[in-house]
Chains A and B, each alone.
Chain A
Amino acid sequence: MSQHHDPVHPDSDHLTAETLADLGLGLLDETSAAHAEHHLAHCADCRALRDQFPALADALADLPDEPMPEPVWQRLSAALADEPVTTPEGSATVVPIEAARQRRWRRPGIGLVAGAAGVALLGAIVVPSIMNASDDSAGVTAASDSSRDDQGTNKVPMAAYAATQSGTKYQEAALDSQVTQLVAARTSVTGDTELVTGSTPSSSPSPTASATSKPTSESPSPSANRSVAAMATDPAAAQACLVGYLDAPDVQPLAIDIGTWRGEPAAIIVLPNDDPALADVFVIDPDCAGPGDPLFYFATVSR
């Protein structure tokens, strides 16, 4: 293998350029390498050929960068300028995941509004411990705040929606329009309509009772596993995620949908932004827990 009739050295069994290249990269087996080294020790011609490899490497490493022609740069920058990722209005505005975490609703302590039904739901997922000690004192205020104006009926805000399971392939580039469509299709459940599905609490929760109960967010029980499947099929699990992870029990989601994100199953949770023209989109692991951060992606889009 290491010896060939070489056109460079037509009159003897010299090493080929292939063999020398393989030798240089350590690709020859031991026997062939030893044979080649032995031949090199005795053959000036083959040494000369071998020495051309470092010379080639030098020449290649020395190749200058090619200046990009100005028309090419103009074309590329124009194409980039047309990309809709970051504009003040209209398109999805991407923020780092870290910032998205801080965007989670921080109405402290209201995770406990739901009463018995809510507690059961919370027990179904593993909730990251996002409630710190200071939440307790603020909880009373926030909880009573949640009983304001529109909460007079027996409608429980956190249950007033259902997750759809469209299987949509959500993508950054199309998120804006995908969410707009999703929300448009879901307008019937964002208003004061009756509950579509999900966990309807058997009785109206008492704000006072909820304010005194502790968020039962810790329950790494076997039920946690159950929620993996549940999130995709049971809106209650999506809701529990909203309560437990996003800490937004009193926020009416504009829509919740189960689709995919980068090939993985994902829950898309659309919540209203402070700016009524915008919506906050959370792309989240459908089991709402996972080994890492369950939040895949966050963006603010126009409605």
Chain B
Amino acid sequence: MTVEDPRPDAELLAAHISGDPTAFTSLVGRHRDRLWAVALRTTGDPEEAADALQDALLKAHRSADSFRGDAQVTTWLHRIVVNACLDRLRRAKSRPTVPLPEHDSAHPIEPSDPLGRRELAWEIDRALRTLPDDQRAALILIDVEGYSVEEAAALLDIPAGTVKSRCARARAKLVPQLAHLRNRSAPDHVPVSDERSAHPTDRPPGAQP
């Protein structure tokens, strides 16, 4: 395991730029679970997430001096990670179609969890994977990571209005899927994906978006 480096993020990054050979790894190690969560949720796939993270971290490692200090180091890292994820998703789209695998192994169900938090997270992550990539990325930044619309817009390099509409589309798709989570009483509720396939669209034909 890594030994915690007491220096703040910005100091670690500066030390890395000055040639400290371990500073960058310490910085990444400190935020690795957060970065992994973002990459995993944005890509929806552990393999893609690991590849995207590697792309992103190597890029950040090389271009650390491009960090301007007008943002949090974590925001800067997030931006690089999210964009690396979206890059990989776009490239994956241009490849012959491979169905997005279900990676339940990454989210072991723990029915004994007294709060049901893991199970809820598992349900939500499954639902997130049903969203289009762009909508999912916007939703994760705003609703999961807690960025403001403006921050997310800067991070994704798209207009704030686009962030809002993607986020709205995503929320509108998730609410019907996850409504049962609020007042479920039976543990053997219908899996999200089955429920979704029974309602391929949220609107009848002819309805305006």
Where the two chains meet, the residues of A that have a C-beta atom closer than 8 Å to any C-beta of B are 1, 4-8, 16-18, 20-22, 24-27, 49, 52-53, 55-57, 59-69, 72-73, 75-77, 79-81, 83, 85-87, 93-97, 99, 172-173, 297
Let me know if B144 and A61 touch, CB within 8 A. yes
In the bound assembly, the distance between CA atoms of A85 and B13 in angstroms comes to 13
Contacts of B102 in A (CB 8 A): none
Q: Find out whether the CB atom of B209 lies under 8 angstroms from the CB atom of A18.
A: yes
Q: Are A85 and B143 in contact (CB under 8 A)?
A: no
Q: Answer whether A18 and B172 are a contact pair too, CB < 8 Å, given A65-B36, A68-B33, A95-B18.
A: yes
Taking CB atoms, residues of chain A closer than 8 Å to B154 are none
Chain B interface, >50% SS class: helix
- Whether a CB of chain A sits under 8 angstroms from the CB of B124 is yes
Given A65-B37, A68-B36, A99-B18, decide whether A4 and B139 contact each other with a Cβ distance below 8 A: no
Contact flag A22-B168 (CB < 8 Å), given A16-B203, A56-B178, A96-B17: yes
- CB-contact partner of A27 in B165, B178, B181, under 8 A: B165
B89 in the interface (beta carbon within 8 A): no
Q: CA of A64 to CA of B115 in the docked complex: distance in angstroms?
A: 13
Name the B residues within 8 Å of A7 (CB-CB). Answer: 176, 199, 202-204
Q: Given A17-B202, A56-B175, A65-B36, does the pair A76, B53 have CB atoms closer than 8 Å? A: yes
How many chain B residues have a CB neighbour from A under 8 Å?
65
A21 touches B171 (CB 8 A): yes
Number of A-B contacts (CB under 8 A): 166
What residues on B are CB-neighbors of A4 within 8 Å? 203, 207-208
Contact surface of B with A, Cβ cutoff 8 Å = 14, 16-21, 24-25, 28-29, 32-37, 40-41, 46, 49-50, 53-54, 57-58, 61-65, 106, 117-118, 120-121, 124-125, 139, 143-144, 146, 161, 164-165, 167-169, 171-176, 178-179, 181-182, 199, 202-204, 207-209
Task: Say whether, besides A7-B203, A95-B19, A96-B17, A56 and B62 are in contact (CB < 8 Å).
Answer: no
Pairs across A and B, CB under 8 Å, 30 listed: A5-B207, A7-B202, A7-B203, A18-B202, A20-B175, A21-B167, A21-B169, A21-B171, A22-B165, A52-B179, A52-B182, A53-B171, A57-B171, A62-B120, A63-B41, A63-B125, A64-B37, A64-B121, A65-B34, A66-B36, A66-B37, A68-B32, A73-B32, A76-B28, A77-B29, A80-B28, A80-B61, A83-B61, A94-B17, A95-B17
